[in-house]
Amino acid sequence: MKKIEMEIECPACKGTGLYQGIGEGKGTAVVCRNCKGTGAYSYSYSYNEFTGRKHKDGIERVYLSGTSYQSGLGVINFSKGVGEIDMNKEGVSYSQFLSGDMPHHVKKLGCPMSLDQGACHNKKGFTNECNRLNDGWVGYIPDCKNQINKLQCWNRFEES
């Protein structure tokens, strides 16, 4: 365990040593309780130095987060248009992950906007096409009129 100690500007009084709130009238202040009027604050931070990625017992597969579904192993049947997903074929095995492979999105679980909205906004014209398909701005992604065609949206995402 490593520990860093440093003296920083007091965050409560912004280095002035004085506090002025609703109880202090015009032209008055009180001594800052945080730094006791010095304007400085002693800060210490403890951390474990990184020595390499550690092994986590009991993990078989690794997926990307953000699906709003609980992940699990085996075949999962969804009743609302998603169908069947064999989660043992999605993501990557833990040994693949440890070797450097990263999982991809489980495309059947959602459109690109629902699984990685930030990446969609970074692709030129992608969100404009989403809005065009919806006859206007999509304020709530699950209300998108094109959800039934999410695999087409994934193709558009990967091409742009």
- Domain stop point among 10, 29, 47: 47
Looking at 77, 92, 109, the residue that finishes a domain is 109
Same domain, 80 and 126: no
List of the chain residues with pLDDT < 50: none
pLDDT digit string, tens, across residues 5-29: 999 999 999 999 999 999 999 999 9
Q: Are strands 92-93 and 83-86 parallel, antiparallel or unpaired?
A: unpaired
Q: Are residues 118 and 73 in the same domain?
A: no
Q: What is the pLDDT of residue 80?
A: 66
Residues 35 and 60 in one domain: no
Number of domains in the chain: 3
* Nearest-angstrom CA–CA distance, 124 and 139: 19
Task: Give every CB contact of residue 137 below 8 A, 6+ residues apart in sequence.
Answer: 131
Range of the domain at 43: 2-47
- With CA atoms as reference, report the closest residue to 117 among 149, 63, 72, 153: 153
> Within a 10 A sphere around the Cβ of 69, how many other Cβ atoms?
15
Q: Which amino acid is at 18?
A: L
Instruction: Tell me the per-residue pLDDT of 65-85, one tens digit each, with 9 for 90 and over.
Output: 877 778 889 998 877 666 889
